[in-house]
Amino acid sequence: MPLSPVKGTSQACEDVSTQAELLSRTHATNRETIQPITHLMNWGRVPLFMFMRVLFGLAILGCAGFAVILVRHGANAASKTPIPAAKVDQPLASTPGKESAVFAGGCFWGTQAVFERVKGVIHTAAGYSGGSAATATYDQVTTETTGHAESVEVVYDPSKITYGQLLRIFFSVAHDPTQLNRQGPDVGSSYRSAIFYVGDDQKRIANAYISQLDDAKVFQGRIVTEVTPLNGFYRAEGYHQDYALHNPENPYIQVCDRPKIEALKHQFPDLFVDYQGRH
C-alpha cells in the first residue's frame, strides 16, 4: 500500500491550521487585537508571524479533543517503517571528510531537528535558499515574494553516512514530499519541498531516488520535490538555530516536529543520536 510517512503528523498540523483559522475568525486576532500582548515580547527578535504560530498552538492544545488527536497521530508517525533505500548512491568514503547537503521541507525548525540527530552529521544550520542574499531574512521570506525556501544545511562525514541515506531520511520522516508549496499549517512557496544539490553527483542521486519512489508508488501522491542547483545558502537568524531543542514545550514543536524526531528514532535506530546541542 502506498505510504505517506509523515501523513499523521501533517494531518495533525493541518488540524492546527483549521483550528487557528477558526480562532482568528472568532476572536479577530488581527494586529489591533494582539497589540497589548506585544509588550511582553522583543519584536526585534521574535517576529509577529512566529508569535501567531505559538498563540494558535496554545489555544488548540487547550482542547482535550485535539490532545487525543495529537497522541494518535504522533504514535502513527513513529510506528511506520522507513521507505526503500536509494538504489543509486555513492559508497561510504574510505577516509573521514566533510560534505554538505541542503534540504527544504517546510518549517526549518523540524527539518533541522531531524538531521541534527543523525549519526555522521557534523553540524546543521537553518537558513534560506533559492533567493538572493539581500532578501534572506525571516521577515522578508515570510512575505512569500523572495523565492527563498526555509532550508537546512547539513554538513556530514561521507565516511559515516551517504548522500542517499540522507535523502532516505529526508523523504521518510523529515517532511511529506507530496505536498506542494506547503507543509501542514505552513502554506507558501517558502515551505516547499526542495533539494538544493551541490554537484552533479547529488543531482543524479536525488533525481534517481525520486524516480525510484514514484515508480514504486511508495507515496499516495506523486513527489513534488524540486531538484535545483544551490546558488547560495544564507544562515537564518540566531533564534531559529536549534529552535526545537531550545523550545521543546512550544505547541507547534510538540504537534509538528516532535513526531518527526520520534519517527527518526524508531525507523532509523542505528543512525539516531541523542543530540543535546553544540558545546
C-beta of residue 257 within 8 angstroms of C-beta of residue 111: no
**Is the pLDDT confidence value at 70 over 90?**
no
Q: What is the DSSP string of 34-53?
A: HGGGGGGS-TTTS-HHHHHH
**Is the pLDDT confidence value at 152 over 60?**
yes
Q: What's the pLDDT score for residue 81?
A: 82
Q: pLDDT confidence of 278, banded at 50, 70, 90?
A: confident
C-beta of residue 141 within 8 angstroms of C-beta of residue 235: no
* Beta bridge mates, 125: 153
| pTM > 0.75: yes or no | yes
The rounded Cα 222 to chain-centroid distance in angstroms is 19
Q: pLDDT confidence of 15, banded at 50, 70, 90?
A: low
pLDDT tens per residue across span 174-203:
999 999 999 999 999 999 999 999 999 999
Interatomic CA distance for residues 131 and 213, integer angstroms = 28
Beta strands in the chain (DSSP E): 99-105, 121-129, 149-156, 182-183, 186-187, 193-197, 226-229, 233-235
Q: What's the pLDDT score for residue 111?
A: 98
Average pLDDT of the chain is 81
3-state secondary structure 212-243: HHHHCCCECCCCCCEEEECCCEEECCHHHCCH
- Helix 48-61 to helix 64-79 angle, to the nearest 10 degrees? 100
Neighbours of 187 (CB within 10 A): 13
Interatomic CA distance for residues 103 and 236, integer angstroms = 14
C-beta of residue 279 within 8 angstroms of C-beta of residue 245: no
Catalytic residue among 13, 63, 107, 256: 107
In which residue are the cell numbers 543523525 written?
Answer: 118
**Is the pLDDT confidence value at 5 over 80?**
no
232: left (phi over 0), alpha (psi -120 to 50) or beta: left
**Is the pLDDT confidence value at 11 over 90?**
no
Q: What's the pLDDT score for residue 13?
A: 58
Interatomic CA distance for residues 32 and 191, integer angstroms = 27
Q: Which helix (H) or strand (E) holds 5?
A: none
Q: What's the pLDDT score for residue 50?
A: 56
- Which candidate, 154, 65, 164, 138, places its Cα nearest to that of 104? 154
pLDDT tens per residue across span 227-243:
999 999 999 999 999 99
The more confident residue out of 276 and 141 is 141
Domain spans of the chain, in order of start = 1-279
Q: What's the pLDDT score for residue 52?
A: 52
Q: What's the pLDDT score for residue 108?
A: 98
% of the chain residues with pLDDT over 70: 71
% of the chain residues with pLDDT over 90: 69
What lies within 8 Å, CB to CB, of 227 at 6+ separation is 194, 195, 197, 203, 206, 207, 210
Mark whether 256 is an active-site residue.
no
The third-level CATH classification (topology) of the domain covering 1-279 is Peptide Methionine Sulfoxide Reductase; Chain A (3.30.1060)
